Structures are given as C-alpha cells and as structure tokens.
Structure 1
Amino acid sequence: MDQTHRHSTTLGVDIRALRRARGLTLQQLADALGRSVGWLSQVERDLSEPGIDDLRALAKTLDVSISTLFSNAPSPAHEAGRIVRSEARRPIGPGDVGLREELLSPDLTDDFEMVHSTFLPGASLPETVTRPTQEVGYLIAGQLDIEIGGHLFTLQPGDSFRIKGEPFRWANPYKATALAVWVIAPPVY
C-alpha cells in the first residue's frame, strides 16, 4: 500500500534545526519571541502548534521567510525524508530581487542545505553579502555574473564556484533565466 502523509520532518524539527544553525539556545529564542522556554520546547517537539502571529515572529527572528516554515506537499511514506519531487519543493528566501529559491534537501536538519536557484533576466543582488558559510554552486542554464571576494566572474552552464565566508553578490544582466544548484553549509534557511 502506498500511503501518503505529511513530510516526516515537522515544523518543530525545522524550527529546532534553524535555531541551532543560528547558534541560539531555547532560552535566547524564547526571550526574543517573548514566549516561555516551555512553550518553545513544546513547539519544537510538535506538542504545540504555533499560531500565525507566532510563525511570523519565528520567521523574523530566525531570518527566514514565513514560507520556509511550511512543510512541502505530502509524500508517499517510503519517500518521506529521502525524496523531494520537483512539484513538492519548498520555496525559501525572501523571493525578491528576481531570485526564486527552492529547497532541494528533504528538510533543514542536515549539516548543509541544497537549493535550486532561478535568477530572472535583469535581476541582481545590489549589495554584497557575507555569510559564515561555505557554499558551492553549479550553473545549469543561462549565464550568471558573480563577484566573490572582489573578483568578478561570468559563469556559463557547467561552471561551478565556491564561496568560503567571503563577500559576494550576483547579477543576471542577460536575456535568459539562469538556473543554479547551491549547497550551503551550515544551512541559512
């Protein structure tokens, strides 16, 4: 029998993974939310479900979009936690500046995350970003300009790159959409 159910990774597990990735204790996150440690512990253990206002506060405090906190579509039991079908990818990131990101990893509990990034024509990240991460990317389609540590590179399909805690930014000044897969450690979403 091929039963489907909600993704094996729950909201609580994702919140715990994000909290830990941010280096926050239960007490620190509870204080930032104006909630008790007991309440937060129950949420992380899926004994209590946060309301929409709590979800908004969690997303803001953990610096993720609220959509990141929602599970992807139900999966067949034998696929849950192992397979992410293209139609069931979870959107992540703010979704602005012409960038659409989807989580390719089954959940946020690994030591890394794998992301599918779509860069629309004309889109750019106007300011450099520096994250305490190691990131490796692979360009699948289109062209993408990426500045890493003050050096500008134009990527073609099949090219890959690495960012190790350096300032970076990207731009797609071209007429075609660019598609890339990024692996980020530790997870930022």
Structure 2
Amino acid sequence: MPEREIDAGWIGRRIAQLRSERGWTLATLADRVDLSTTQLSRIESSARQPSLGTLIELARTFGVTLSELVEDEAPTVYHLTRRTDLVPRQIAGGELSTLSGRFPGIEAMHLALRRGSSTPEAQHAGEEFLCVLAGNVDVTLNTDTLDLDRGDALQFPARLPHVISNTGDDTAEILIISTHPANDRTPAGGETRSQNRHGTAGPST
C-alpha cells in the first residue's frame, strides 16, 4: 500500500477551525498557550510548524486529545493504528504521527526526528515516556543530558524543560507517550531524578 502524502497545512487549518468554533481570537488562544499572536498566526497559516510541546498544550487548551487535534478520522469504541495507516504531520524538526485514539488518558505518538534536528524546548503538565525505536538521540532535562540508543527508554515529569536532539547519522524514530495532566504523579516535594548508564551532566538549553 502506498504511503499517504503529508499535508503540511492540515494542522494549521485544524487549529484555526477549533479556535473559530470556540469563538476565540488569535490573542485569546495565544495567551492561553503562551505564544505570541504572530507565532500562532504563522502556525495557522502553515508558515511555521508547531513543536510537539505546543501541540500538546493546544490540544489540552481546546479540551481534545492530540489525536482529535491532528487527525480527521471518525471516533470508534477502540482505536487500532496499523503502520500503513500512519498519517505523518509536519512539525518543527520532523514528522509526527499519532498512535493513540480519542481516549483522554494518554497520548501516544511516533516522532521521526530529522538528522541534526532538535525539538524546541517544551514544558507541559503530565508525565512523558519515550523509547528510541531507531537511531540515537540526546534528551536534555534541565541540566542533565542523557544519551539514548535504540531500545533505550526514559520517563520523566513533563513539567521539566526538555529537548530531544538527533545525534545520529540518520532519521531517529521515537515512541512518545504523554499522560493527561490528571495523571501527573510528580511528588509534591519537587522533581525526581533517575539516571541510567547513559546519563551525563550537560549544559542547560
């Protein structure tokens, strides 16, 4: 089966549609997701591709799942995603395909991060889990830089500033799972830190 063509303008049109349905101005939505009106306008017109963190914040502000934000499929009582059904959407640094359906507990996605690219720094509610499916990436969490190879996995409070960088020679493929804010279990006393064999101290980005 041939791969689906990437519609680079779909996400921008969808954001504009959801904003219009709610009667919000550009300024209203921009303020709620901590963007300037110029940034949001460029995203809606597809002159700028949003980051994954921005998409998560937009979905939660609209009160929809990430799947509802970026996909145009009708809902069912279950959600099955076959590899041939993936619909990649252009975002900053690469292509995003949603894997989860319209259920509120988690957002699962496949990120193809281009060689030499990094995701913009993100912070949002909930927790995040990622597993490297192909390639090599660095994940920066505050002042820690973690080197992840194929098969390595990482879980962390998504409120920590985080950046994913492709350090390999090819496109990196990453499974990312983000929990709904209601499931955020970060200890009230602050951050948690767990370091595996790849952890090294690094500069904050």
The TM-score, its normalising length taken from structure 2, stands at 0.52
Deviations 1:45-104 (A, max 9, x none): xxxxxxxxxxx69xx997369x944424x89xxx87331111222445x5222x211111
Q: CA RMSD in A?
A: 3.6
CA distance in 1 between counterparts of 2:103 and 2:128 reads 17
Q: 2:114 aligns with which of 120, 137, 140?
A: 120
Unaligned runs of 5+ in 1: 1-14, 20-28, 35-55
1:71 counterpart residue number = 72
> Can you list the C-alpha shifts for 1:9-53, whole angstroms capped at 9, x where unaligned?
xxxxxx9xxx9xxxxxxxxx834259xxxxxxxxxxxxxxxxxxx
The answer to whether residue 172 in structure 2 is matched with residue 175 in structure 1 is no
Q: Distance in 1 between matches of 2:86 and 2:104?
A: 16
2:180 to 176, 183, 186: 186
Output the CA distance in 1 between the equivalents of 2:161 and 2:87: 27
Please, which of 126, 139, 142 is the counterpart of residue 146 of structure 1? 139
Local SS of the residue matching 1:146: strand
Which residue does 1:100 correspond to in 2? Answer: 95
Would you say the 8 A contact 1:136–1:161 is kept in 2?
yes
CA drift at 1:174: 2.1
Structure 1's consecutive aligned runs of 4 or more residues displaced over 4 angstroms after TM superposition are: none
Q: Please list every run of 5 or more consecutive structure 2 residues that lacks an aligned counterpart in the other structure.
A: 1-13, 27-43, 46-53, 60-65, 182-205
Q: Which amino acid aligns with 1:158?
A: G
What amino acid sits opposite 1:172 in the alignment? Answer: N
Report percent identity of matched pairs: 16
| 1:120–1:172 Cα contact (<8 Å) kept | yes
**How many residues of Structure 1 are paired with residues of Structure 2 in the alignment?**
130
Residues 135-159 of structure 1, C-alpha deviation per residue, up to 9 Å, x if partnerless? Answer: 0011111100110122001101111
Q: Which structure is higher in RCO with an 8 Å CA cutoff and minimum separation 6?
A: 1
Question: TM-score normalised to the size of structure 1?
Answer: 0.56
